[in-house]
Structure 1
Amino acid sequence: MKKHIGISRAMVAVLVVAMSCQSNSTEMKSKSTETTGTTASRAVKPAESGYADVNGLKLYYEVYGSGKPIVLIHGSFMTIPLNWSPFIPLLAKDRKVIVAEMQGHGRTSDIPRALSYESMADDVAGLLRHLKIDSTDLLGYSMGGGVAFQFAVRHPKQLRRLVILSGAYAHDGWWPDAEAGFATATADQFKGTAIKKQYDSLGNDPAHFPEFVKKVISIDLKPYDWSKEVKKITAPLFMAIGDVDGVRYEHALELFRARGGGKMGDLHGLPKSRLAIIPGTTHIGMTKRADWLVPMITDFLDSDLNATPPTF
């Protein structure tokens, strides 16, 4: 048992370092003149930004571009610039891109409310009402994938198509060592990282950071399984994981099969949902794959769901 705990702690430390390296790289590449990260993209500035009063929160959001809307939901501990800087300029070329910072993250201050995938999904629904958007595409990464799954379950009428990057719909969807490692994360492991620097600079109380870490981790310490509900989602789904991700291959395949996959498309037609396993890509590495992922995402969002497979 001691050996297992030691491995888990080491694994968490590696994840924190990886997040820090990705975050620092994103910050260095940013062409924004804002030193606090209030502009998410290296190439574009938000057409609109502000706070939406939803469910007792003042939820910070930004809007880029124009066209069909897509909402991006970040991962644990992340902010708009740390998670989405490479994605926003590519998606905003022909879409209205809406990004928000979830409870306690970035410029959205925490409130005395337990953090949960369900409550964050309701917050996203409230943001859409604030922006007067009836229906949207939704893209969630990691923790944001869990939020997106719950949004699809709880607010199906507000959803057009769903994209999940490295997200799980059950606690055992993670590799066992990754799942075991959640309980060992501590605030000390974030010292000196871009995640901690952004937390300190964007409005939250630096003294509250240890409680913030515990609160974010808490949502993955309780077993959850939304398999039945998720398999009944009617919106088309595109799920992508890295080939060395924290999410198990079988977890993604199980959902894809339930959505019509697992058959030869030339014989049976194309399913309305899609699956991708991105080569040479870790869990954190998914945030570096915008150049690969965005063409796949836009092709899925723009696809004709009634199209037939090509023939010779």
Structure 2
Amino acid sequence: MATASQSSAQSISPSATGYAPVNGSSVYYQVYGEGSPLILLHGAYYTIEMNWAHLLPELSKTRKVIAVELQGHGRTPFSDRKISHAALASDVEGVMDHLKIDIADVAGFSFGGAVAYQFAIQSPGRLRKLVLISCTHKSTGWLPEVTNAFKALKPELFENSPMQKAYEAVAPDKTKWTSFLNLMFASAATPFDLGDANVAKITAPALIIAGDNDGLDKIELMKTYQLLGGGITADFGTVPRSQLAILPAQGHRSVVMQAPTILAYMTSFLNNG
């Protein structure tokens, strides 16, 4: 999951970094810019730079961007705590408490998007708007070949990968790489469902962005969009609070790299209403 824009990571530096003490551990974060807060949640095995380097320079021009590294990822220390969406969403809220942020927009990609869904469900009062990039709130939201691939993950598939190199460049304890992988593999192989009824109760406007061939089941994605208030005939009524964008000729790894398009959608959605 290498990113073509990793070279742009040096184009901007955070105004602040730190560790938030949360739930008996600590979570690393970086802060960029000033303005209304926007929290970024990365994909599985990613660091902040791998996932967001190409978006941070523009987003931080008008927003206070808080990029978080979730449990065991990047600079956040390894923990043998079971990976759970509820715990990770609680960690995000803990970072907000640490930074004295009452309410924020939250954007998540893939694994981070599932955490963003959970955050919206369990901490609705802390959320303004939600951006969900190539992610699902339940295992059946992926096509069968994706869920089968999750079950076949093993450490050797990641040997000398961009993810391993990024981890080893910043991790506080590089010897935890295999332990971290095995914890993530166990999570990926375990079916999950945050609940259609829970998603339907999300009142925050949501922007869903997906690639047309990113591994998501588009029938299930459309059902999710309907749960969030979309999929109507706007000509016969009010335009829904949520939005859906399908990017053509994009897979799961490439969709988040479409910086100009992602920025245009996010900026319009977050700044209006």
Give the TM-score normalised by structure 2.
Answer: 0.96
Task: Name which of 262, 268, 273 aligns with 1:293.
Answer: 262
- Where does residue 151 of structure 2 map in the other structure? 183
Map Cα deviations across residues 23-64 of structure 1 (whole Å, 9 max, x no partner): xx333x23xxxxxxxxxx342211111111111222110000
- Cα distance, 1:115 vs. partner? 1.2
Contact kept, 8 Å, 2:199 with 2:227, in 1: the verdict is no
Is 1:148 the counterpart of 2:116? The answer is yes
1:281 is paired with a residue whose SS is coil
- Where does residue 277 of structure 1 map in the other structure? 246
Contact kept, 8 Å, 1:52 with 1:61, in 2: the verdict is yes
> Residues 97-136 of structure 1: matches in 2 within 5 Å?
97-136=65-104
- Cα distance, 1:184 vs. partner? 1.0
Question: Which has the larger Rg?
Answer: 1
- Where does residue 233 of structure 2 map in the other structure? 264
Task: Name which of 177, 182, 185 aligns with 1:214.
Answer: 182
- Cα distance, 1:96 vs. partner? 0.5
Task: Name which of 23, 26, 30 aligns with 2:5.
Answer: 26
In 2, the alpha carbon distance for the partners of 1:258 and 1:111 equals: 34
State the identity as a percent: 37
Contact kept, 8 Å, 2:208 with 2:243, in 1: the verdict is yes
Contact kept, 8 Å, 2:80 with 2:183, in 1: the verdict is no
Contact kept, 8 Å, 1:51 with 1:61, in 2: the verdict is yes
- Where does residue 74 of structure 1 map in the other structure? 42
Is 1:65 the counterpart of 2:44? The answer is no
Map Cα deviations across residues 44-101 of structure 1 (whole Å, 9 max, x no partner): 2111111111112221100001111100000000000011001111111100100011
- Cα distance, 1:223 vs. partner? 1.8
- Cα distance, 1:267 vs. partner? 1.9
- Where does residue 192 of structure 1 map in the other structure? 160
- Cα distance, 1:204 vs. partner? 4.1
The residue identity in structure 2 corresponding to 1:129 is: D
Is 1:137 the counterpart of 2:105? The answer is yes
The residue identity in structure 2 corresponding to 1:289 is: Q
- Where does residue 13 of structure 2 map in the other structure? 45
- Where does residue 233 of structure 1 map in the other structure? 202
Is 1:56 the counterpart of 2:35? The answer is no
2:246 is paired with a residue whose SS is strand
Distance verdict in 2 for CA 1:115–1:154, change over 3 Å: same
- Where does residue 10 of structure 1 map in the other structure? none
2:210 is paired with a residue whose SS is strand
- Where does residue 7 of structure 1 map in the other structure? none
The residue identity in structure 2 corresponding to 1:176 is: P
- Cα distance, 1:294 vs. partner? 1.1
Contact kept, 8 Å, 1:171 with 1:220, in 2: the verdict is no
- Runs of 5+ unmatched residues, structure 2: none
1:225 is paired with a residue whose SS is coil
In 2, the alpha carbon distance for the partners of 1:81 and 1:259 equals: 30
CA RMSD, 1 decimal: 1.3
Contact kept, 8 Å, 1:57 with 1:108, in 2: the verdict is no
